[in-house]
Chain A
């Protein structure tokens, strides 16, 4: 069961035509929103889809759910091709788009009943499905309310309830926690984790800690290209910091720090010291790097104590999502003309 593949995406691309040339990448008048993406989603997996605004997350999700037709490439949902057999494939998917598709003049119950019937649930199954979805999304007490009168957070919950109402194999959530307060965010994350036990979940976000908290695997997309596709553990290793920040009350002799093994450079900025360590860039060495980083930190603290620098603050500099994008996109070869030519030939 573990290895059952529910989504298989290969060489998926989507181009948008434009009237004017805007991107230096394209000679023709089109923008490539999603460029040659491949990935799979297995049963019971929670897949995080991470990328800055405009990276192509929503476009990819719209293609997965049949809302946009791909320019080329294929999408297989539970072994069925989405383009050849859209109705059977769509029955396996629950989708929450970035704007929840709510009929605001209906009450929560009416709306969820309608969604359940739309997803081909038998009449007898509708009632239990609706109450189940409401319970999971914390809407039990709001069934009789008109959706328009609910707060944005609750509307978002109705959107999620709509996506899981027919217990689909795959739940696709486009930025599910946007617009929620912190408590609701935690609840929704909990809900997604629960969903991950019985369904496969794919969710997009531009918030790194959110993805770290819920997902098993991560896809990072930037400017339509997949730049990272691995487990969350590997992402954590990738994020491993190589920079320490120290704050000392007394004057510090930088040369003593630079003399330590494994330190590449030190910058001084008033009381603050920024210490860069140099490790092997190889990801497979990550565990060694981690140990080396701890060792250097200890050495530094010891040194500070001996020299009585008045050390009062040490912390590893956290890498932000932007840093990771930067490092990932720089590792990738940014521009390969031969590939582009191939693509243009395909378009013709």
Chain B
């Protein structure tokens, strides 16, 4: 049943030009970034070769590429998730799901996995660019997969937060703006940390803010550092917003 809802969601995405437009724009921008970074790397290559323990192509091209795509997707994922529930509420098709013999959890998971499917397609398309380097040179595959896992987890978290925002309002645009705001805030929350660097008093607070930052948990993965704490952060983030979404959907039926 979850699969059914997920597949329909994915199908509807591809029936609208939005999904195609996103794939195209995403691919063009990432391509441009990839090529310009590759160019820069080629210019630096001679100097790097002299250095001992110098960063390789994986550090200089692939990690920035995947980090950059996370930022672009921060803008795009809210547009993708905004319609999930709010549009169904607006066009009153949610009734179909509510009247069918399925649970709210199944509805939310179906919707979520549908978007996740689309995001995986995006990740695979982005991954093709670094993988194409295999034709010319050796890359650190371990670091690449760690970074790809990181990117996937970041996107999955974006999608979960976006889904929750979409259950809050009937207006897709409001859902998009508020999930973008939330995600951006969580992205930059550790900036406060940088500003307060001198005050030793704030040390405890810094750590908490740091811990909440999506970016903070993404960077180690980009560098190839695989830590359970980072993975747990993303999984908790996803579960939290999915549970909130289910609760919110159940509340829609209650007196208000």
Contacts and interface: CB of A to CB of B under 8 A. Distances in A.
Given A101-B92, A118-B1, A69 B254 contact: yes
A138 interface: no
Given A16-B255, A69-B255, A120 B1 contact: yes
Interface in B64-110: 91-103
Interface residues of B, number: 24
Contact of A90 (B92, B101, B255): B101
Interface stretch (A92-100, A204-212, A284-292, A302-310): A92-100
Given A118-B4, A119-B101, A102 B93 contact: yes
Nearest to B100: A118
Contacts, number: 71
A74 to B, nearest CB: 16
Contacts of A162: 96
Interface stretch (A60-68, A181-189, A224-232, A318-326): A60-68
B255 A88 contact: no
Contact of B96 (A88, A91, A118): A118
- Which label, helix, strand, loop or mixed, suits the secondary structure of the B interface? loop
B47 interface: no
A333 interface: no
A91 B101 contact: yes
Interface string B228-256: 00000000000000000000000001111
Contacts of B15: 105-106
A118 B254 CA distance: 23
A66 B98 contact: yes
Contacts of B253: 66-69
A118 B97 contact: yes
Contact of A67 (B98, B101, B103): B98
A87 B95 contact: no
A333 B102 CA distance: 42
Interface string A102-138: 1111100000001101111000000000000000000
B5 to A, nearest CB: 8
Contacts of A97: 92, 95, 99
B93 A87 contact: no
A86 B97 CA distance: 13
Contacts of B91: 101, 104
A210 to B, nearest CB: 23
Given A14-B255, A15-B255, A71-B255, A90 B94 contact: no
B45 interface: no
B12 interface: yes
A17 interface: yes
Interface of B: 1, 4-5, 8, 12, 15-16, 91-103, 253-256
26 contacts: A16-B255, A65-B95, A65-B98, A65-B99, A66-B253, A67-B99, A67-B253, A69-B254, A69-B255, A71-B255, A86-B103, A87-B103, A95-B99, A101-B91, A101-B94, A101-B96, A105-B15, A105-B16, A106-B12, A114-B4, A115-B96, A117-B4, A118-B4, A119-B100, A120-B1, A162-B96
Given A66-B253, A87-B102, 20 more contacts: A17-B255, A65-B95, A65-B99, A69-B253, A71-B255, A86-B101, A87-B101, A90-B101, A95-B99, A97-B99, A101-B94, A101-B95, A101-B96, A105-B16, A118-B1, A118-B5, A118-B100, A119-B100, A119-B101, A162-B96
